[in-house]
């Protein structure tokens, strides 16, 4: 997906189109849409409630539908595809690249996927079928098959004549790939070098051989990391035998980066990264209900800890007033550590070798901050309730909970990753349970010890 246009412009345009739809002046809506780019139209669709979205989609020019569809989030794209038959899908995919077509096909219901493949042109179907078997979040799913290849023995003059005969080159082509007769990847020839060198030189003399291609099963987040590290515009993709099968370009990597950012943000609330803002009620409710149920179950765990000390709370009412402070401070501290660790894992910074150092650093930070805010809380509690024991209890409990939060924030995402659970998705729920339970247990446990 591409970044949306300026927020103010799109808001005004959306208000104008929604008002025109309500007034029934659909010819005006069609005229406005015909002058907009695919990115703008896609953003308007994603910003519209279901009824208006359906009308807008019907008014888009047929030749623009494919471009608009590939700019939509998975949720909105899937909802529109469910309403189409095989012929409609084939028509809108005519001018799309194979990787974009494969992304759309993977969203189709199984009942029409085969019908769509049969309805495609044979050449296009073969190109798409080379990409379709690979998962969307791997190099194979990201790659395009529109590569330009040359042999090492060719001269620059031959290569230039070959390019002129093609008429045009694929977008984001900054290098031509050099392959053997059996399509083994040998290196690449930068276009910038090709345009200025002696026409009599051979490709072998000019090509770069130290550039590592990307394996076809490389995860998408690793592909993005490689592009960032090497400042690539495009990169070759090879299969397990080292044969060139396609290329990945920077525009595909930008989409991966945006999707990863959306995933991290939405996962904190237990939602999918492409959650439709205007999804119908019956579709949105079950998704939220699942994580609300999980959170309720974990809340009962924390509440059961409080129940163990009911007698102490009855005798010292101040404990009920101060309990939320200990739990809240632990939750914030744990979230800070969890965020740093999940980000470090996403960037590939954290490994077994440096994890112990990170854990000791976070525990040291928790100790320093714990001592500072324990003194502040203790002083406030003593002044408030005129009871030094309350101050000692809350200070000690706060320090214990911050240490537990730091340890959980480091170890929890590592444990989840080893269990193949997304730490961004479930980490915050489990962390909150831990900090609440430890906070209540330490505070009320110490109070029981001191007051009985």
Given a contact cutoff of 8 angstroms between Cβ atoms, the answer to whether 121 and 151 are in contact is: no
Give the mean model confidence (pLDDT) for residues 441-450: 90
Question: How far is Cα 186 from Cα 207, in angstroms, rounded to an integer?
Answer: 9
Written out in words, the top-level CATH class of the domain with range 149-249 is alpha beta
Q: Kindly report, as residue ranges, where domains of CATH 1.25.60.10 are found in the chain.
A: 7-136
Rounded CA-CA distance 438/225 in Å is 37
Q: Does residue 186 contact residue 180 with C-beta atoms inside 8 Å? A: yes
CATH topology for 281-451 is Tetracycline Repressor; domain 2 (1.10.357)
Structure letter (DSSP) for residue 33: H
Answer with the residue of higher pLDDT: 391 or 261. 391
pLDDT tens track for 175-197: 999 999 999 999 999 999 998 98
More confident residue, 156 or 66: 156
pTM of the model: 0.62
pLDDT value at residue 293: 76
Q: Which CATH class is domain 7-136?
A: mainly alpha
Query: For 114-122, what is the mean pLDDT?
Result: 77
Residues 172/234, Cβ–Cβ less than 8 Å: yes
First to last CA, the chain: 63
Mean pLDDT, to the nearest integer, of 91-106?
Answer: 75
Cα–Cα distance list, 165 to 124, 162, 177, 301 (Å): 21, 5, 17, 71
Query: Mean pLDDT over residues 192-205, rounded?
Result: 91
For CATH 1.10.357.20, list the domain ranges present in the chain.
281-451
Window from 69-83, 200-214, 332-346 with minimum mean pLDDT: 69-83
Task: Look at phi and psi of residue 386 and say left if phi exceeds 0, alpha if psi is from -120 to 50, else beta.
Answer: left
Report pLDDT for 360.
Answer: 94
Q: Are 144 and 166 in contact (CB under 8 A)?
A: no
> Residue 310: its pLDDT value, please?
79
Most confident of the ranges 6-20, 35-49, 309-323: 35-49
Task: Give the integer Cα–Cα distance in Å for 153 and 375.
Answer: 76
Better-scored residue on pLDDT, 46 or 114? 46
For residues 293 and 226, give the distance between their C-alpha atoms in angstroms, rounded to a whole number.
39
The residues of the chain that CATH labels 3.10.580.10 are 149-249
- What's the pLDDT score for residue 5? 52
Tokens of 113: 């996927």
Give me the numbers of helices (H) and strands (E) for the chain, helices first please.
22, 6
Q: Tokens at residue 263, please?
A: 């995933």
Q: How confident is the model at residue 329 (pLDDT cuts 50, 70, 90)?
A: very high
What is the percent of the chain with per-residue pLDDT over 70, rounded to a whole number?
A: 89
Please compute the mean of the pLDDT values over residues 45-71 and round it to a whole number. Answer: 86
pLDDT at 291: 64
**What is the layout of strands, in order, in the sheet containing 234-238?**
214-215, 234-238, 244-249
Quick: pLDDT tens for 351-371. Answer: 888 889 999 999 999 999 999
Return the higher-pLDDT residue of 178 and 97.
178
């Amino acid at each position: 997906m591409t970044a949306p246009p300026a927020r103010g412009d799109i808001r005004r345009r959306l208000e104008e189109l929604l008002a025109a739809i309500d007034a029934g002046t659909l010819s005006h809506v069609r005229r406005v849409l015909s002058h907009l780019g695919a990115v703008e139209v896609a953003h308007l669709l994603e910003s519209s409630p279901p009824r208006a979205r359906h009308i807008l989609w019907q008014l888009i020019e047929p030749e623009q539908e494919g471009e608009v569809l590939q700019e939509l989030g998975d949720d909105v794209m899937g909802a529109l595809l469910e309403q189409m038959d095989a012929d409609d899908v084939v028509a809108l995919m005519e001018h799309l690249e194979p990787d974009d077509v494969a992304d759309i096909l993977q969203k189709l219901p199984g009942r029409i996927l085969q019908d769509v493949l049969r309805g495609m042109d044979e050449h296009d179907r073969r190109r798409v079928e080379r990409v379709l078997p690979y998962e969307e979040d791997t190099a194979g799913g990201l790659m395009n098959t529109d590569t330009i290849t040359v042999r090492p023995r060719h001269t620059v003059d031959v290569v230039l004549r070959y390019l002129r005969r093609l008429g045009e080159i694929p977008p984001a082509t900054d290098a031509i790939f050099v392959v053997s007769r059996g399509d083994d990847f040998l290196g690449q020839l930068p276009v910038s070098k090709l345009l200025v060198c002696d026409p009599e030189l051979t490709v072998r003399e000019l090509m770069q051989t130290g550039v590592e291609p990307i394996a076809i099963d490389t995860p998408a987040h690793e592909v993005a990391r490689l592009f960032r590290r090497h400042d690539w515009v495009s990169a070759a993709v090879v299969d397990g035998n080292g044969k060139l099968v396609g290329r990945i370009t920077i525009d595909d990597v930008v989409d991966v980066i945006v999707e990863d950012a959306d995933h991290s943000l939405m996962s904190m609330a237990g939602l999918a990264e492409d959650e439709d803002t205007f999804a119908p009620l019956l579709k949105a409710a079950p998704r939220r209900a699942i994580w609300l149920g999980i959170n309720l179950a974990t809340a009962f765990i924390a509440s059961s800890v409080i129940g163990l000390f009911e007698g102490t709370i009855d005798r010292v009412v101040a404990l009920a007033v101060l309990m939320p402070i200990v739990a809240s401070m632990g939750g914030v501290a744990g979230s800070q550590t969890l965020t740093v660790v999940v980000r470090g894992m996403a960037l590939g910074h954290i490994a077994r070798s440096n994890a112990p150092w990170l854990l000791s650093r976070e525990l040291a930070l928790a100790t320093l901050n714990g001592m500072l805010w324990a003194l502040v809380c203790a002083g406030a509690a003593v002044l408030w309730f005129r009871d030094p024991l309350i101050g000692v209890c809350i200070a000690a409990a706060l320090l214990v909970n911050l240490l537990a939060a730091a340890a959980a924030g480091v170890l929890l995402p590592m444990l989840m990753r080893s269990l193949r659970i997304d730490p961004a998705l479930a980490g915050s729920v489990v962390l909150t349970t831990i900090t609440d339970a430890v906070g209540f247990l330490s505070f009320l446990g110490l109070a029981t010890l001191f007051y009985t």
